[in-house]
Chains A and B, each alone.
Chain A
Amino acid sequence: MEAKVEARPVIRVQAPMPERDEGVLPEEEHEIKMTARDVNVYYGEKQALFGVNLDILDRSVTALIGPSGCGKSTFLRCLDRMNDVIEGCRVTGKITLDGESIYAPQVDPVQLRARVGMVFQKPNPFPKSIFENVAYGPRIHGMIKTKADAEEIVVNSLTKAGLFEEVKDRLNESGTGLSGGQQQRLCIARAISVDPEVILMDEPCSALDPIATARIEALMEELKENYCIVIVTHSMQQAARVSQRTAFFHLGKLVEVDDTAKIFTNPTDIRTQDYVTGRFG
């Protein structure tokens, strides 16, 4: 059999050039909002985090970066005790919020989660109306006494999340009918509706397209004026764009934490350097 070899059409692509944000941010003073001291996390027999020590600054964005499975999401979930609901998960060490341990026996995890809000990777609005999505949290925490309260909180939260203008005519429609980016902003509105002090975001843009991502990032920029934000991200560009401080996790250990500009330009640890320059991960 004679092999027929024909010239096939080809498309040439250019290898991407990594973009770098070389801008040096002006130094600001931030209070320490949360601290983690010697935090170990075990899933059953397996240890997922090894002695993490980290300070999280108020009114700023702290990015947690690192390769998959390095423990950054695990650490994030320690900060609002979401790990409590996972079977066989055990946390040792000390995590404080405003100087008080959040794992102390007298602390109610439900109240804690009202103070430390969370936004998840996949937009997860309740299958209820947009209004109910936002009003639910304040309602169960007794922040709503009258109908006017509810409306005020809903409008405020949606406005802060930059969603109000888009949905003001259809507040009674289902939240699941929105686009992915809108859903995620609805989730952010829901998180800020209970007036938290800290907002944790677990890869909030990984399920979104670039335009929606840009809107969320702009939103984070605004929110950090009032809130302490911790974001887990896989995108180093995103970390560089939105965060003031970056923590690099690797194999369950916190390798390095510093100002974002320093991490991306002049990291101390060779592993950080390898990761941010794309050599592994």
Chain B
Amino acid sequence: MSEAQTIDQRANVRDWASDDAQRRVRRRYGADRRLQLYGIIAIVLAIGLLGILLASLVVTGLPAFLQTKVNLEIYVDPTKVKPDDLAKGNFRGLVRDALSSFVPAEATDKQKTEVAKILTSDAPYIVRDYVVGHPDTIGKTITLPIALSDPFDQLNKGVIPKEVDALSWSQVRYFERLRNRGVVVEESGRTSLKLDIYIDPAKVEAGPPPTGDFAALARDSLQAYLPDVHDTALFAMLADDAPDAIANRVAADPAIIGKTVQIVFPVSPPFQELAEGKTPKVPNPRFTPVQLAAFDAMAAKGLVHTPFNWELFFNADSRFPERAGLAGAITGTFLMLLVSFALSFPIGIAAAVYLEEFAPKNRFTDLIEVNINNLAAVPSVVFGLLGLAVFIGFFGLPRSVPLVGGMVMSLITLPTIIIATRAALKAVPPSIREAALGVGASKHQVMMHHVLPLAMPGILTGTIIGMAHALGETAPLLLIGMNAFIPSIESMGILEPATTLPTQIYSWADSPERGFVSRTSAAILVLLGFLVIMNMLAVVLRHRFERKW
């Protein structure tokens, strides 16, 4: 009896202060903290990566939101532009004339054409559109802001440098190798190469004066010092007067023909600079001196400015990056999402309501349910192929049109909408259904008057998320050809070829012009902006209409 009591007491009064118990407590706290730490690390990592992505997009994309323009004074010459036939006016001539003040008087036609290339190739059309809109300006001087062509836009933004390194990295290395072999010397104030050279009798006539391909001899001897280099850039090392060194030696002593002698060749000016420890620069070969002079003249007059690039939003696509915009892509995306919404919203709700409320629970409906969930996991490119084969191939719908794009997108968004709708319907408490049934509402009245309105915020949230998903889809659109080149938004419709934001990004990313690099990033930012807006709308809807039961 007393023993049992002791055991009882021991069981009841556990020693929470023992070392063992303390250790257990410490271990438990440690485990809690570790778990939190893992979560924090994961979140920091995710946010960090997202930040890097956004930062790189913003840094690359920001220049595209500005566009370099020049305020060009244009005299609308009545002899070139006739008021009665504006469309046939010589607007190119007007632009040329306007640029003439920046071109030296003695410039050739070729140089004038080069200067005209400072402006976008669309410049005559910009002038034409303005004059057509303002016919009273004929005979007057107008000032129009005209976009610069891409290279000059990039030059003004500092993306492309005005000067580039004169020597390539390999040229610098060849020079270093020669210097290490001790053949680089200072000779009468010029850096020179002291090279052994075989004066080949087959190539040189003694003269006088001596003739022959001395340049080839010089090249051969230089090549002999670096036999592993097969690069003509090597010969840029020799100054233009280097071959003369051979000619002078042969003239002085014709007996050296057929012998090997040591000759000192001066190096070309960039290598001279390199030897002096500088980094030799040359003007960027993209631009001609006349172009650079004209551009500098414009800048000096204060005509060059970089306003906000509204064209990025209001222009359609163009081959010229300075004129390319997203209006076509945004319109195409909008039309496609419209079709997709019009199809998938009613179909999705109808399917979900039937499956959730009316369908008998049997093997067949189970199969449908499983397959709807499976559809949500099918890669979107497969839907694109389906659209290509069925909508375009079988039904003969036109290619590249928002109608087909929207139909494919509804296939992609339908599972999302059906699943979200069913979840929203399930979340409506059964007491509401019972209440409605109890006052004698029929099944469809219960559905339409009570359950569906209450589930609507959830349904809309799911739909918007599905639409946001469709907004970013690219692969299926490429398959059905919705990456058309759309230079004007005027003729766009659901049965006209179109492009969308993601496919526009895809084609811009493929373009070689420098201007498209920043425009691609800018387009991605715009796309992300739309996605954020849509997702925020979903969040707002959820919060605003969320009900407490």
Q: Count how many chain A residues have C-beta atoms less than 8 Å from C-beta atoms of the other chain.
A: 31
B181 close to chain A: CB less than 8 A: no
Pair A187/B440 contact, Cβ less than 8 Å: no
Give the residues from 496 to 549 in chain B that come closer than 8 angstroms, CB to CB, to chain A.
547-549
A-binding segment of B32-40, B55-63, B428-436: B428-436
B13 close to chain A: CB less than 8 A: yes
A57 close to chain B: CB less than 8 A: no
Q: How far is the CA of A120 from the CA of B361 in the complex (A)?
A: 27
Pair A126/B436 contact, Cβ less than 8 Å: yes
Task: Give chain B residues whose Cβ lies under 8 Å from the Cβ of A87.
Answer: 361
Task: Give chain A residues whose Cβ lies under 8 Å from the Cβ of B440.
Answer: 110-114, 137, 140-141, 194
Task: Give chain A residues whose Cβ lies under 8 Å from the Cβ of B438.
Answer: 80, 82, 113, 117-120, 191
A125 close to chain B: CB less than 8 A: yes
How would residues 381 to 414 of chain B score, 1 for a CB under 8 Å from any chain A CB and 0 otherwise? 0000000000000000000000000000000000
User: B15, B435, B443, B445: which contacts A126 (Cβ < 8 A)?
Assistant: B435
- Chain B interface bracket (under 10, 10 to 19, 20 to 34, 35 or more): 20 to 34
How far, in Å, is B109 (CB) from chain A's closest CB? 80
> Contacts A1-B15, A114-B440, A194-B440: A125 and B435 contacting too (C-beta < 8 A)?
yes
Task: Give chain B residues whose Cβ lies under 8 Å from the Cβ of A125.
Answer: 435
> Contacts A3-B13, A136-B449: A122 and B431 contacting too (C-beta < 8 A)?
yes
A260 close to chain B: CB less than 8 A: no
Q: How far is the CA of A113 from the CA of B438 in the complex (A)?
A: 6
B141 close to chain A: CB less than 8 A: no
Pair A187/B435 contact, Cβ less than 8 Å: yes
Which single residue of chain B is at the shortest CB-CB distance from A114?
B440
Q: How far is the CA of A57 from the CA of B86 in the complex (A)?
A: 97
Q: How far is the CA of A118 from the CA of B548 in the complex (A)?
A: 23
Which single residue of chain B is at the shortest CB-CB distance from A190?
B439
A147 close to chain B: CB less than 8 A: no
Pair A126/B450 contact, Cβ less than 8 Å: yes
Task: Give chain B residues whose Cβ lies under 8 Å from the Cβ of A114.
Answer: 439-440
Give the residues from 26 to 76 in chain B that come closer than 8 angstroms, CB to CB, to chain A.
none
User: B432, B435, B442, B547: which contacts A110 (Cβ < 8 A)?
Assistant: B442
Q: How far is the CA of A126 from the CA of B440 in the complex (A)?
A: 14
Task: Give chain A residues whose Cβ lies under 8 Å from the Cβ of B434.
Answer: 82, 118, 120, 124
Q: How far is the CA of A112 from the CA of B442 in the complex (A)?
A: 11
Task: Give chain A residues whose Cβ lies under 8 Å from the Cβ of B431.
Answer: 120, 122, 124
Pair A137/B439 contact, Cβ less than 8 Å: yes
Q: How far is the CA of A111 from the CA of B445 in the complex (A)?
A: 13
How would residues 13 to 28 of chain B score, 1 for a CB under 8 Å from any chain A CB and 0 otherwise? 1010000000000000
Pair B435/A176 contact, Cβ less than 8 Å: no
Pair B437/A3 contact, Cβ less than 8 Å: no
Which single residue of chain B is at the shortest CB-CB distance from A87?
B361
Task: Give chain B residues whose Cβ lies under 8 Å from the Cβ of A193.
Answer: 439
Give the residues from 100 to 141 in chain A that come closer than 8 angstroms, CB to CB, to chain B.
110-114, 117-120, 122, 124-127, 136-137, 140-141
Which single residue of chain B is at the shortest CB-CB distance from A193?
B439
How would residues 186 to 223 of chain A score, 1 for a CB under 8 Å from any chain B CB and 0 otherwise? 01001101100000000000000000000000000000
How far, in Å, is B21 (CB) from chain A's closest CB? 12
User: B437, B442, B549: which contacts A82 (Cβ < 8 A)?
Assistant: B437
Q: How far is the CA of A122 from the CA of B548 in the complex (A)?
A: 15
Pair B449/A85 contact, Cβ less than 8 Å: no
Pair B549/A191 contact, Cβ less than 8 Å: no
How would residues 456 to 496 of chain B score, 1 for a CB under 8 Å from any chain A CB and 0 otherwise? 00000000000000000000000000000000000000000
User: A80, A120, A140: which contacts B435 (Cβ < 8 A)?
Assistant: A120
Which single residue of chain B is at the shortest CB-CB distance from A138?
B439
How would residues 130 to 164 of chain A score, 1 for a CB under 8 Å from any chain B CB and 0 otherwise? 00000011001100000000000000000000000
Pair B439/A191 contact, Cβ less than 8 Å: yes
Task: Give chain A residues whose Cβ lies under 8 Å from the Cβ of B445.
Answer: 140
Q: How far is the CA of A122 from the CA of B438 in the complex (A)?
A: 13
A12 close to chain B: CB less than 8 A: no
A46 close to chain B: CB less than 8 A: no
Give the residues from 243 to 290 in chain B that come closer than 8 angstroms, CB to CB, to chain A.
none
15 contacts between A and B (CB under 8 A): A3-B12, A4-B13, A82-B438, A85-B443, A110-B442, A111-B440, A113-B437, A120-B431, A124-B432, A140-B439, A141-B440, A190-B435, A190-B439, A191-B438, A194-B439
Q: Which 8 A-B pairs have the closest CB atoms?
A: A114-B440, A137-B439, A124-B431, A118-B438, A113-B440, A124-B435, A3-B13, A110-B442
Q: A3-B9, A124-B429, A127-B432 are in contact. List 11 more A-B contacts (CB 8 A).
A: A85-B433, A111-B440, A117-B438, A118-B438, A125-B435, A126-B432, A136-B436, A136-B441, A140-B440, A190-B435, A194-B440
